[in-house]
Amino acid sequence: MVQVGQWQRSGKHWQDAMEYLWSGELGQIRTAKTWAYMGWAAPMPVPDSDPPAGVDYDMWLGPARKRPFNKHRFHWDFRWYWDYAGGLMTDWGVHLIDIVLMGMKATAPRSVMSLGGPFGYPGSAMETPDTQQAIYEYDDFTMTWEHSVGISLGPHQRGHGVSFTGNNGTLVVDRGGWEVLAETGRRDGERYEKTPAIERQVAAPDQRGLAQHTQDFIDCMKTRRQPRCNADVGALVAVNAHLGNIAFRTGRRVYWDHAAGRVKGDQEANALLRAEYHNGWQFPQVTVAEASAG
């Protein structure tokens, strides 16, 4: 039994928001938005130094490229370096994009394009962009991702969140609750709400998902049913997030062949699908027979 840590799937208010979305009240969903505006300070360059006492730095690096120790490449700030992570796109993106995949019952995109750069902190030590936008094309809707480091206020006056916009209104949900913003129309010269607005439904602090996700794993160990977020779901949202960064790093629109697990006709993009292994580490190769036996 494998559970992936997309714990929001276990939160009651996230589930309530999805039930409302699936009710059809919003009409045809045209686009979804995901965002993370984090008011964290960007790290500024510092000299390399010796690792802290007690740290096996070679083991910490593992298969990542051998580099001198720098405190910004260590705990917390490691997320801003391509050797170890993918910035906010993969840090928060996997949590929020997952809700779009869940809500829209979608899988992988047809194509992705992305722009961004060190626009907020051009002199910082970050490799990943402090500002980034990505547009995803699915079969019958589009999704946007955007993030900013050092800014806390994003779309819909929320630092993070997910929105679904349909013909009749927009559902907005984050870790604190959900609400519906009504789309208005005109009938007999009078404005009216196409679907009733719903005031923010505040999530109970003890029902936001983390404790429930832990319980879900324990229950699955006993019952042998699959967790709410299993390996298949976790892999799928990782593909979506990584494609956003691949589009950014190549500087062009990438077209994804989900059946083949490859970007169509783009060797540079495909080279970014798997990390390079260094320092004697080898990427494990598992045959179909071994996987079945395991």
Domain segments of the chain as ranges: 7-293
DSSP state of 149: E
Buried b (16+ CB within 10 A) or exposed e, 229-238: bbeebbebbb
Q: Please enumerate, as own/partner, the contacts of 174-183 that have beta carbons within 8 Å and a separation of 24 or more.
A: 175/8, 175/11, 175/203, 175/208, 175/209, 176/202, 176/203, 177/13, 177/201, 177/202, 177/203, 178/13, 178/14, 178/16, 178/17, 178/20, 178/203, 180/20, 180/25, 180/26, 181/156
Superfamily name with CATH number, domain 7-293 = Dihydrodipicolinate Reductase; domain 2 (3.30.360.10)
Least Cα distance to 237 among 124, 91, 20, 68 occurs for 91
pLDDT at 283: 85
pLDDT at 186: 86
Question: Would you state the structure tokens that stand for residue 285, as one six-digit string?
Answer: 């190769």
Q: Which residue has the tokens 């206020």?
A: 153
Q: Which residue has the tokens 């979506």?
A: 240
Dist CA 164 CA 30 (whole Å): 8
Dist CA 151 CA 159 (whole Å): 8
Cβ–Cβ < 8 Å for 129, 82? no
Which parts of the chain have pLDDT scores under 70? 288-294
pLDDT at 291: 52
Cβ–Cβ < 8 Å for 207, 13? yes
Gap between the terminal Cα atoms of the chain = 12
pLDDT at 293: 57
- pTM (global) more than 0.85: yes
β-pair partners for 67: none
User: Quick one: which H or E segment has residue 161?
Assistant: strand 160-166
